[in-house]
């Protein structure tokens, strides 16, 4: 499968995605394997007979063996400020060279943090070799400084500590983007679904070939793997089945323009699509539709924004006048594709209601 390291926590966005602008800035050491590998999207690979002048080639960040005490660290800057709910310190293929423990600090400054700016959100915790090491982070228990309207803190910088040394293949930071609304003019039409603006795909029917989050990433997809693609449905001719992807908008707003882009999907684009919206402010991350389709007990009254409409291969489809003439405000949109297939990007332009 292309880009097969799918989001394990389907209700949250990986804020460490380099497509959002996240960068690895500095590390105490990356002698064996470069620090930038931490934010690669592909699954880590192991090549048995691949060596460099420094030793065994590894797909991750790996430091040399410490002999004089201390420990190693790495600093990342998120492309989009955000709250953090879970992390995955992936040590895949690091077996005799994984750290014993890790910890994580964060900072909310606009410039490179000083020592007094760092705040610990994950204390020293044991990690396993060659494993996905998942940790829950409760942002709401942090102090209210730099918090959003729900009291959750929004972070810009991360500092990963490994004890005492070793290698980590990938670092996933699962949470929600928190845009700075001061960067937008009053009444400005913005892409409310975009991950870079704080949109988040909170659930989908299937993402067998590529992750649901690709749907709302910046720019056009670079290839067929850089989109959201489901497996082939069998029996849909009789059971009426279809696939769907629900996106929580960056903030509540109206919907004025929609773009559905099937770039690179030629023999596997959906035959048709439709778009629905709802206003949901419940506690659950994914709103239901009253029929149990979304594996949710919550009810949500979906309104049709764009009726079932044919799609074409490898094309941008722009909808303005086709959007239903309703003055409703929406918090979520639901893209339905019939019966299955791949969509590269979805843009949902509207006016924020802050």
Does 236 map to a domain?
yes
List strand residue ranges (DSSP E) for 265-315, in order: 272-278, 303-310
DSSP letter at 238 equals H
Domain boundary at 178, 203, 227, which? 178
234/133: higher pLDDT:
133
Same domain? For 214 and 170 the reply is no
Structure tokens at 109: 């400054």
Does 218 map to a domain?
yes
Same domain? For 343 and 211 the reply is yes
Same domain? For 133 and 208 the reply is no
Same domain? For 18 and 157 the reply is yes
Give the number of domains in the chain. 2
Q: How far apart are CA 133 and CA 106, in angstroms?
A: 19
DSSP letter at 230 equals P
Does 1 map to a domain?
no
DSSP letter at 295 equals S
The string of pLDDT tens digits covering residues 155-205 is: 999 999 999 999 999 999 999 999 888 889 988 999 999 999 999 999 999
The string of pLDDT tens digits covering residues 67-99 is: 999 999 999 999 999 999 999 999 999 999 999
Same domain? For 260 and 219 the reply is yes
Task: Report the CATH number at residue 69.
Answer: 2.60.120.260
Q: How far apart are CA 98 and CA 168, in angstroms?
A: 7
Question: Which three-class secondary structure state does DSSP give residue 100?
Answer: coil
Would you call 34 exposed, middle or buried from its count of C-beta atoms within 10 A (0-12, 13-18, 19+)? middle
Sign of the torsion angle spanned by Cα atoms 120, 59, 78, 71:
positive
Q: Which residues span the domain enclosing 141?
A: 13-178
Same domain? For 64 and 205 the reply is no
């Amino acid at each position: 499968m292309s880009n097969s390291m799918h989001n394990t926590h389907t209700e949250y966005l990986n804020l460490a995605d380099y497509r959002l602008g996240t960068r690895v800035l500095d590390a105490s050491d990356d002698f064996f394997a470069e620090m930038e590998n931490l934010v690669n999207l592909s699954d880590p690979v192991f090549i048995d007979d691949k060596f460099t002048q420094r030793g065994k080639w590894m797909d991750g960040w790996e430091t040399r063996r410490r002999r004089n005490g201390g420990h190693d660290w790495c600093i990342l800057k998120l492309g989009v400020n955000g709250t953090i709910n879970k992390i995955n310190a992936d040590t895949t293929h690091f077996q005799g060279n994984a750290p014993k423990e890790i910890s994580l600090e964060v900072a909310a400054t606009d410039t490179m943090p000083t020592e007094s700016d760092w705040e610990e959100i994950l204390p020293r915790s044991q990690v396993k070799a060659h494993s996905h090491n998942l940790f829950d982070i409760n942002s709401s228990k942090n102090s209210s400084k730099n918090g959003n309207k729900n009291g959750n803190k929004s972070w810009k910088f991360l500092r990963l500590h490994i004890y005492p040394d070793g290698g980590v293949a990938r670092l996933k930071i699962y949470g929600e983007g928190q845009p700075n609304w001061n960067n937008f003019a009053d009444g400005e039409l913005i892409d409310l679904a975009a991950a870079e603006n704080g949109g988040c795909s909170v659930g989908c029917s299937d993402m067998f070939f590529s992750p649901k989050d690709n749907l709302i990433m910046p720019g056009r997809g670079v290839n067929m793997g850089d989109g959201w693609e489901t497996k082939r449905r069998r029996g849909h001719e009789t059971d009426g089945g279809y696939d769907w992807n629900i996106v929580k908008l960056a903030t509540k707003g109206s919907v004025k323009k929609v773009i559905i882009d099937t770039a690179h999907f030629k023999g596997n684009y959906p035959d048709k699509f439709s778009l629905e919206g709802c206003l949901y402010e419940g506690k659950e991350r994914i709103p239901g539709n009253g029929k149990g389709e979304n594996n949710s007990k919550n009810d949500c009254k979906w309104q049709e924004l764009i009726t079932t409409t044919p799609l074409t291969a490898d094309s941008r489809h722009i909808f303005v006048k086709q959007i239903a003439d309703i003055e409703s405000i929406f918090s979520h949109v639901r893209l339905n594709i019939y019966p299955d297939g791949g969509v590269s990007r979805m843009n949902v332009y509207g006016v924020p209601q802050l």
